[in-house]
């Protein structure tokens, strides 16, 4: 559960690979509850995976609206990308006394 106005870090482990990537090869898209996408190339803490070791990256996000959001980790551009990970997460407001249930 995430709270409106509070920063949260999303951390990813990148599989070992023989391919060479940089932090600019990885992108994050956030879909808010209204279906609006925010596509960013703003990952931090990037460690390049190699054939012998996994890599990692992080993304810090501060939600501004409550509801179910989707975060997508991809490689490529906004127009042409490959999705590597997709996750739903719920955001609540500290001013609301509402319980949120999500059925997947």
37: Cβ contacts below 8 Å, ≥ 6 apart: 29, 30, 31
pLDDT at site 82: 87
Does domain 2-92 bear CATH number 2.60.40? yes
pLDDT more than 70, % of the chain = 90
For residue 63, give the nearest of 84, 36, 81 by alpha carbon: 36
User: Which tens digit of pLDDT belongs to each residue from 17-62?
Assistant: 999 888 888 989 899 999 998 888 788 899 999 999 999 999 998 9
Q: Which pLDDT belongs to residue 68?
A: 94
Average pLDDT, the chain: 86
| pLDDT in the model for residue 17 | 92
Percent of the chain scoring above 90 in pLDDT = 43
């Amino acid at each position: 559960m995430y709270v409106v106005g509070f920063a949260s870090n999303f951390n990813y482990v990148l599989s070992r690979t023989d391919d060479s990537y940089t932090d600019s090869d990885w992108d994050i898209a956030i879909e808010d509850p209204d279906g609006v996408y925010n596509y960013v190339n703003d990952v931090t803490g990037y460690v390049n995976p190699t054939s012998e070791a996994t890599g990692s990256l992080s993304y810090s996000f501060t939600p501004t609206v409550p509801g179910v959001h989707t975060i997508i980790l991809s490689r490529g551009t906004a127009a042409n990308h490959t999705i590597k990970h997709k996750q739903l997460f719920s955001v609540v407001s500290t001013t609301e006394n509402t319980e949120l249930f999500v059925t997947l």
